[in-house]
A and B are shown apart, each in its own frame.
Chain A
């Protein structure tokens, strides 16, 4: 087993400030993009930017980048199960009315 310092990787303050700066830039970007009419792409862009922000928070503020694989697995499981719940639910609600009901069986 390795020493505690391997698992408690101390990142320089500069890394935290860079992540902080990236989060601010992405926040400004998501507000600016919202003022352009992109049709259905607006929500896609907003969720993509939010996901990018969440990703850097996970990797650096939450130290996932320096955590062991069972932590990666747990974090990924939360994400995968949420996407599964969203995708399967919307595959029902979003596709209702695409096909006509049969008039007779």
Chain B
């Protein structure tokens, strides 16, 4: 216990040392993320069950998504993870301007991601592929090379395609909601950094927001192949 002599302003009174405080924050954040794994996990498991059951419908429905924009968004999000990781590194070094610079860069990349996602959603709305009363899907056995199988010939086939889009909108929508929350956290980080709240001894909020942001990146890392790459060959 080497920190008892000093009592910095950022140390809450119920902790013995800044180190103990930081470790408590880390553990709390990781427990929250483990809970988030379960939260998204339920959707991934439901997706797996229905993809197994309606393999052809999921393949055909996935083929209507834009692989180009999905791949671009994957790269944009990986870039934002890099900038966020560098923001945390600036926190470690006590570089306040660096924190602000990299957090702003992360916010710009996140906004690009959400903008592209919005355009994709709008396009799906125009194509009447948003689940609901307006949903309309007629299997085009000629131009989209939809194979005639027992499953695709099923009168409920369009319903199964709609189910894929329900998963698509709920999972990517929930992911996008997490990103919007992340953007809010980053605004808070910039305000705190501008008020000189961070130093190389205390940058826990930057570190925790970084963990959250990388988790959101990991969710997308799994969503991208499962949503966009079902049937490309």
**Which A residues contact B (CB, under 8 angstroms)?**
1, 3-4, 7-8, 10-11, 13, 16-17, 19-20, 23-24, 27, 30-31, 34-37, 42-43, 46-47, 49-50, 53-54, 57-58, 60-62, 67-68, 70-71, 74-75, 77-79, 81-82, 85-86, 89-90, 93-94
Contact = CB atoms under 8 A, between A and B. Distances in A.
Given A1-B2, A70-B27, A78 B18 contact: no
Contacts of B26: 67, 71
Contacts of B22: 4, 7
B218 A57 contact: yes
A16 B201 contact: no
B116 interface: no
B74 A90 contact: no
Contact of B221 (A17, A36, A50, A77): A50
Interface residues of B, number: 55
Interface stretch (B78-86, B120-128, B184-192): B78-86
A27 B82 CA distance: 15
B229 A31 contact: yes
Interface string B65-98: 0010001001100110110111001001100000
Given A35-B232, A86-B48, A16 B89 contact: yes
Nearest to A60: B85
Nearest to A93: B49
A58 B78 contact: no
A13 B41 CA distance: 33
A89 to B, nearest CB: 5
Contacts of B74: 27
Contacts of A4: 18-19, 22, 201
Contact of A71 (B27, B89, B201, B210): B27
Contacts of B79: 20
Nearest to B59: A42
